[in-house]
Each structure stands twice: as structure tokens, then as C-alpha cells.
Chain A
Amino acid sequence: MLKPRFQYIWEHVDTTSEDDDQNDSSAFINEWRIRAGLTNRVFVSYGREVLLWGPSMLFSPSNPFFVDNGRSDPFRELGGRDYLQAIYLPNQNLTFSLISNVAQGRGVNFDLSEFERTDAIKMDYIGQNGYGSLILSHQQDGLNQIGGYFQLTLSDALLLYGEGSYSQGTQALYPYQSVSPPGWDFVASKRDDHGIFGTSLLGLAYTFAAGPTVNVEYIYNNAGYSDQEARDYFDMVEQLGSDFAGGDLSVASLLAQAADPRLPLLRRHYMFVQFLNTNIRNKLDVTLRYTRSLDDDSGNFIAIFDLAANDNTHLFALGLVNHGDAQSEFGRYIDNQWLVGVNLTF
């Protein structure tokens, strides 16, 4: 497997103070893999890959490597990371995988932290009307984590699924006011906590006879911020942003950490709904996704259109609209974002 890429980016940034155009081009290999079958049941591989799994549509809490499953923007390719893997199939129902993320590859750490190796053991079982997976993982200098997912086929149209991951203590960063500059600490204060922290997701998917499929998911993220912690977090980000804009570069690393507080979602309770209709008149796929934070009532709406103009050409468009006040999860950064493009295949 080899996936070479050439990328050219033109960006136009329009702010209240100035307009800016930027160009960038690069050539790279996003994914490649060499796999050897030692027997018909044992396989080893090494390569740069995007490892995604799980039945949920919003994100993949069970995945210690890629929580973002790429579904909210299917036209943006996730950066591959370097993995060493061994897969053993004792029978047609069971699969054991040893997975080691040995290098950063093209993956991005938003908090600018150093790469830390992550190892996982994954056990998959497939039964007649469902399947499940158990994932045990350990990040170097991090916590042990247990995760998993399941799906049950309740009828030819109805699927029930769940996904989650848990650890004793959490590496999530929490804001605390401090007397020393810049006035805030942002620390993993619950890392040594004896409590169990994690994210649980429960979902239903129903396919109507006319074709569309609707997914509804509820997410509980118990490491997420309380109302007070969220207020502190937004106050901290606002102040750090202001300090940085004012020329205080010493807050840069704290600001970068604030961009990734090591939480899949900032708050605790969420609902997610997705409407998917594929092959409308055999040429149009429509995906509508809405995520709502039940804690601060902010939300994120995404519409994705993919039109097969002919056998080789796809036209696509993605629109994103957030709502919520400036101190809410989805209202804090971007009001709306639009993407249009052409995908040519030969």
C-alpha cells in the first residue's frame, strides 16, 4: 500500500484588521505499508497509516491513536502515523492485534508536545448479529487505558452501538488561577486521582426504506469541564490571547496547550444527530451533522454534499456553522466555514 500526495494550498484570511493571501505546496507520502503474512493466520506490518475503527460517527473515543475519525470533514485527509503491527486470526470470529505507534509520522500534536510512543493490544470478536472490540493501551509516560466498542444488528435497518475508553485518573488539563504570571496554571491535576475517567458513547442508526440513514448518539465525557472550570478556561484563553497579541511571547506554550486540553470534548454531555442519504438519483451523497453541547447549549452544524458529475469527477462542498456565545465550546472560535472542491479519479 502506497499513497503519495501532492498538495497546493492557497489561503485567504480575512480579519477585521487585515487581509492576507498565502501559498504553500508540498509533496509527501501520507500512507504506506509493508505487510508480510508469516502464515495464513499471522501477519506483521510496518508503515505510516491512519488507523481508524469503531462504529460511532461523531468521533472514536476507543481509539488511543486517532480520536478524530475524519467524518466531520471527509475531504481532509488525516496525517498518517508510523506503526509496527502484528495481527493473529485464531479463527474466523476472533482477531488479536498488537499495535505500536513508534513515530509521529505526519500526525500533529496541537499542544506542541513531544511524541510519546503508544502501545495497544486489540481483541476483536464478530458474532452472528454483532461485534465487539476491547483495546488496552499504554502511552509512554502516560496512563493505562481500557477502551472498547460494540455493535448489535437489531434488524436489517436498526443498529445499536457503543464506544468508550476509561482510565484511572486523567491527563486532561484543568485551569487554575495563579498568583504568578501569567495568572493561570493549566495542569493535569487529576492525573493521580483514583477515580475512573473517560468518555462513553451510545448510538442508534436507523435506515429508512426510502434510503436515508439517521444516527443519534449520546456522549458522556466525565473528565469534561464543570461550569466553573469552563468559565475559568475561557477566561484563561481570552487573557492569554490578549497577552500574546500584545507581544508577550512567554504565554505561547500555555496558549498552545489550551488549544488541546487533552479532552476529546470540552464539556460533559452531548447529543449528536446525523442524516445521511447516499446515491440520490445515483449521483448525490448528502450528510447533515449536528452536535450539541447540553452543558452550554452551543452547537455545530455541518452539511456535506458530494456530487458525482461524471465517472471521473466529484464536486464537493462542505459548510460548517457554529452557534453559541463566545464562552461556549462551539461558539468560541469560528462562526462559519465553507469548503468547495473537485475530486478527479482516473
Chain B
Amino acid sequence: MRYVVALLLLLTVGVLGLPLPSWADDVSPAEILKQSDAARGGGLPGIKWAIKLTAVDDGETQKQELTVQARDNDSLVEFKQPPKIKGQKLLTVERNMWFIKPGLRKAVPISARQRLLGQASNGDVAATNYAGDYQAVLLGEEMVNGDNCYRLELTARENQVTYDRILYWVSKSRHVGVQAEFYTVSGKLFKRATFEYGNQIDYQGQHIPFVSKMIIIDEINKNNKTTLEYSNIQVVALPDRIFNLQLLTH
């Protein structure tokens, strides 16, 4: 009987947990972007994950632990460790961001550009929605660490997003972004990021690889490096109250 159950389970996973289909040759840059967003929390009905953030800045190392709950363009980041920041929250609703500190109670409006820790901006820890935020143009194909990738140029649709221009490499076989370069308005490269996908989520019958590590390197001072490690990923329906400023602050 035990073997029958195991066989049924295997069949169920085999039928429902379909592998990602290959992209057609004429796949649009927008579609590439949309699928790669899912592996970084974008476009899902609701998702939770934990992040361990390690920042090396001028030889000094700082560590933080936080949890993220995200849905569409909304996210709630709660700081867990170290004790000096425990209880702080970062709420993003559409393009609006607030920082909530226990004791102060007043939610302070902030911009996506404000730094969180090290090289990580507030916009970096929330779910990625490049498909909504950026216009993508396919520049060609390139190998990145042995992975054949689409090379995309992303230009901000509006000026409210964290970065003006991004070069983004998306794996053709895995449908995930593996490398990004972030540029200033003047065209200067100021940050570079690489992504690893050791996690996996199941969504709409598909196994979707999910980001497990993001490493951001400061291009001005390459010794400055920030690493975000993602774990405990759960796809869950998140109600409106999670992202309601009034309920969070009063």
C-alpha cells in the first residue's frame, strides 16, 4: 500500500509539477522578463520569504535578518535581527514606501532610492517587478558562467523606479535572471549583481526556480559587497490588511 501511495504521489508530481517549457525562438523580451520576475517574487498572488543580508563595507561586516511578504507591487519587510533593528518595518504599496520604527510609531515616507544596508536599496529587498517597471529590448545572446543567456536592456518606463537603466542576463534554459548591471542616468555603471537559484516554488502546476542568493557589488569600490540569502519561501494568499498602513501604525 505504501508503494502505491508513493507511486501515486510520483505520478501526481509528474503530471502537475511540469518542468518549464522551452522558450520559442520568437519569444518577446517582455515575456522573458515576466517569467524571470516570478523567480524573484514578482507577479505571484502572494509570497513570503526570509532574507539574511550581509554587507561588507570598507572592511566592516554587518548582518541583518528580515522577512518579506509580497503581493503584486506591495510588500512588507520586517526586520528580525540584530536586536537594534528588531521590529522595524518597511512597507511598500505601489510606488509608495514607508519606514516604521517601533517607539516612533509615525510611519516615515521614504523613497525607493534610500539605502537599506550596504549596497542594497530599499527597492532591492522587495519583490522584483521588472516586467511592469521597465521596457525591455533584446540585445542578443551571451554565455554567463557556462549558461546561454538572453542579454536584455531595461529602460525605466517611469522615473519612479529604483534604477534608470539595467543590463540583465536571463538564462535561456532556466528562465531566470543570472546577472544584472545597474546604471545611473549619466550612463555610469554603479552596481553589479549576480543571482543564484537554489530554491524552488510550486505555482500553477509549475516548478519555478526561486532566487536563493543575490550578490551586489559596488562598482566604485569593488571591496564593498552585499549578499542577500533567501530561504523559507512560501506561496500564500496575502490579505489586504497585511499591506495596510493604518493597521500597521495604529
Contact = CB atoms under 8 A, between A and B. Distances in A.
B114 A40 contact: no
Contact of A128 (B62, B95, B112, B190): B95
B82 interface: yes
Contacts of B107: 52-53
A313 B246 contact: no
A97 interface: yes
Given A49-B250, A126-B94, A345-B84, A156 B113 contact: yes
A126 B83 contact: no
B239 interface: yes
Contacts of B158: 129
B160 interface: yes
Contact of A205 (B55, B111, B190, B244): B111
A89 B244 contact: yes
A154 B95 CA distance: 10
Contacts of B161: 156
Contact of B84 (A49, A85, A99, A308): A308
A171 B205 CA distance: 64
A43 interface: yes
Nearest to A74: B104
Contacts of A158: 111
A312 B158 CA distance: 40
Which of B55, B240, B249 lies at the interface centre, i.e. has the most chain A CB atoms within 10 A of its CB?
B240
A311 interface: yes
A130 interface: yes
A159 interface: yes
Contact of A151 (B58, B60, B109, B115): B109
A155 interface: yes
Given A156-B123, A311-B83, A124 B94 contact: no
A125 to B, nearest CB: 11
Given A124-B246, A282-B55, A89 B241 contact: yes
Contacts of B104: 52, 70, 74
B93 interface: yes
A119 B28 CA distance: 55
B184 interface: yes
Interface string A148-172: 0001011111110100000000000
A52 B249 contact: yes
Interface in A75-132: 77-78, 83, 85, 87, 89, 91-92, 95, 97, 99, 122, 124, 126-131
Nearest to A40: B239
B154 to A, nearest CB: 14
Nearest to A345: B83
Which of A45, A49, A53 lies at the interface centre, i.e. has the most chain B CB atoms within 10 A of its CB?
A53
B57 interface: yes
Interface in B177-224: 184, 190
Q: How large is the interface on A (under 10, 10 to 19, 20 to 34, 35 or more residues)?
A: 35 or more
A194 interface: no
Contacts of A209: 113, 184, 190
Contacts of B95: 128-130, 153
Which of B55, B60, B95, B161 lies at the interface centre, i.e. has the most chain A CB atoms within 10 A of its CB?
B95
B111 A207 contact: yes
Contact of A156 (B86, B112, B240): B112
Contacts of A45: 250
A304 interface: no
B53 to A, nearest CB: 11
Interface in A211-260: 211, 213
A71 B245 CA distance: 19
Contacts of B159: 154-156
Interface string B115-135: 111100001000000000000
Interface of A: 37, 40-41, 43, 45, 49-55, 60, 69-71, 74, 77-78, 83, 85, 87, 89, 91-92, 95, 97, 99, 122, 124, 126-131, 151, 153-159, 161, 205, 207, 209, 211, 213, 278-279, 281-283, 308, 311-314, 345-346
> What are the 6 closest A-B residue pairs judged by CB atoms, nearest first?
A311-B82, A52-B106, A345-B83, A155-B159, A282-B62, A128-B94
Given A124-B246, A153-B96, A211-B115, 19 more contacts: A37-B241, A41-B240, A41-B241, A43-B247, A49-B105, A55-B109, A69-B106, A74-B104, A78-B105, A85-B250, A92-B74, A95-B245, A95-B246, A154-B159, A278-B114, A282-B117, A311-B84, A312-B82, A314-B84
29 contacts: A40-B241, A41-B240, A51-B105, A51-B250, A52-B106, A52-B107, A53-B106, A71-B106, A77-B103, A85-B250, A87-B246, A89-B240, A92-B74, A95-B244, A95-B245, A99-B250, A128-B94, A128-B95, A154-B159, A154-B160, A156-B159, A207-B113, A207-B114, A209-B190, A213-B110, A213-B114, A282-B62, A312-B83, A313-B84
